[in-house]
Chains A and B, each alone.
Chain A
Amino acid sequence: MQKFSALSLARKALGGHLGWTPQWRSVEPKPAYDIVIVGGGGHGLGTAYYLAKQHGLRNIAVIERGWLAGGNTARNTTIIRSNYLFNESSSYYEHSLKLWETLSQELNYNVMFSQRGCLMVAHTVHDVQVFKRHVHANRLNGIDNEWLSAEEAKAFCPPLNISPNIRYPVLGASLQRRAGTARHDAVAWGFARAASDMGVDIIENCEVTGILRGPGGEVRGVETTRGTIRAGKVGVSAAGHSSVVLGMAGVRLPLQSNPLQALVSEPVKPAFPTIVMSNTIHAYISQSDKGEMVIGAGTDSYVSYTQRGGLHIPAHTLEAICELFPMFRRLRMLRSWGGITDNTPDRSPITAKTPVPGLYVNCGWGTGGFKATPGAANLFAWTIAKNEPHPINAPFTIERFRDGVMIDEAAAAAVAH
């Protein structure tokens, strides 16, 4: 692997940058692998990376139906935080956040993880109760999260409108300082490069169309648009398409795939120092390094695989943005898009074995799995390699729905993203 550094950049500059080579090998599929990962998003690529790096496995392929990381990894609002309510979730997300903190160095790829903090603003007495519950729960779990008065929140994020005269005045906010954003594509590319360097085969433009089973029902490999690929184990990390892929093995999942939209403004000079989320009035905003305001809109209500939704959804979010940040009313929407999110009934993910031997699934990340990318990948790799979950992801099974042990962050009035 060509090492990335200011020095290598300078050296290559002398040669007009002609000396760089592909960051990952995009290859033809081999007939067989030990492990096939379906889905080349951040989660899938990361899984391959950790399988190779931490479990010493090398004969691995990541199969991606389109261009690498062109799914939700390419289209999320990049909010990274770990201040979830329940122990199960907060340990999972915190595991991930810790990995984020050294990811650039580990991958030798600057993923631009920027810990600028995440403010979750409270507008009602109920919000205040819920957020304080989070703050206390997080503190006892060793996860930073603090309560700010409205004035303190404004000091942290000057554009915030804390006038008591707006329809839903800001009553305060919780702040996780270690929360932040990252350059979404870079995460996937960095994982791809590092995995590829360790021998993982990355196969693009190859859609999995079937799952091969042995006589005992166990997994034997996958059918793809580029032929049959045998494998002893198959890990599915297909986000919005999880139901489709698992359906090939006859496994039904508790998932619904909905459009989730986002948008960016035209770029402006730094005007927004942090991330602000308001669940009550549905606004999610941060400013990217390039200068756009990156704004998350809501979920369209119906199942769709179109990667687009109705304009009223982003419009609704922009109403909230304009209320909370009335000086941004004259900014303009530059581009909007949609992704396909795979939502579980309890809004928590599944990282687990399936009823089919040798078939594993990491899905249900819905509207909030970008932050989990390194963590989920790391634990999914563990689960596949050892054929049993790591203690952190052990609760995140499919069976929890049968057994009634949901991890219901949504019901606990926590939120997505």
Chain B
Amino acid sequence: MLLIRCPYCGERSEIEFANGGEAHIARPADPMSQTDEEWAQYLYMRDNPKGLIAERWRHAHGCNRFFNALRDTRTDRFVMTYEMGRPRPEIDAATLAEAAR
């Protein structure tokens, strides 16, 4: 069971959270102007990375807030979590290597 650091409540076990899929996929400002192809990209197509993922979690059984996390999907090690709305942080190579370990 993962240990996840909620930016508001601190570290809690995974069962208190709901995973919200990949992060930083903003809903288009004007969906109706999207082509079918663009809309499908937004709705369904995912990077599904083997490596560092930016993903959303909701502290569903805690403070109920969504937040983002960077995690390495090869190791399930978290690099960091951060509040919704913040841009995806740049991560230095050493930290990435540590997460991949």
| Physical contact A–B (CB less than 8 Å) | yes
B48 touches A303 (CB 8 A): yes
Total A-B pairs in contact (CB under 8 Å)? 70
B11 to chain A, nearest CB (A): 15
6 nearest A-B pairs in the assembled complex, by CB-CB distance: A243-B48, A254-B44, A402-B40, A301-B19, A310-B1, A252-B45
Q: Given A256-B21, A401-B43, answer yes or no on A303-B73 (Cβ-Cβ < 8 Å).
A: yes
* Chain B binding surface, main DSSP class: mixed
**Residue in chain B with minimal CB distance to A345:** B44
On chain A, the number of residues with a Cβ less than 8 Å from chain B's Cβ atoms is 23
B101 to chain A, nearest CB (A): 13
A402 touches B36 (CB 8 A): yes
The one of A253, A345, A401 in contact with B48, judged by C-beta atoms closer than 8 angstroms, is A253
The interface of chain A, by Cβ under 8 A from chain B, is 241, 243-244, 247, 252-257, 301-306, 310-312, 345, 401-403
- Residues on the B chain within 8 Å of A241, using CB: 50
The interface of chain B, by Cβ under 8 A from chain A, is 1-2, 14-15, 18-19, 21-22, 36-37, 39-41, 43-50, 53, 55, 71, 73-76
- Residues on the A chain within 8 Å of B18, using CB: 301
The one of B41, B53, B76 in contact with A252, judged by C-beta atoms closer than 8 angstroms, is B41
B91 to chain A, nearest CB (A): 17
**Residue in chain A with minimal CB distance to B15:** A312
CA distance A312 to B55 in the complex (A): 21
B44 touches A302 (CB 8 A): no
A304 to chain B, nearest CB (A): 5
Interface centre among A255, A303, A304, A311 (most CB of B within 10 A): A303
A305 touches B74 (CB 8 A): yes
The one of B40, B45, B73 in contact with A304, judged by C-beta atoms closer than 8 angstroms, is B73
CA distance A280 to B20 in the complex (A): 22
A-B contact pairs, 29 of them (CB 8 A): A243-B46, A244-B49, A252-B41, A253-B45, A253-B48, A254-B40, A254-B44, A255-B46, A257-B48, A257-B50, A302-B19, A303-B22, A303-B53, A303-B55, A303-B73, A305-B73, A305-B74, A306-B74, A306-B75, A306-B76, A310-B2, A310-B14, A310-B15, A345-B44, A401-B40, A401-B43, A402-B36, A402-B40, A403-B36
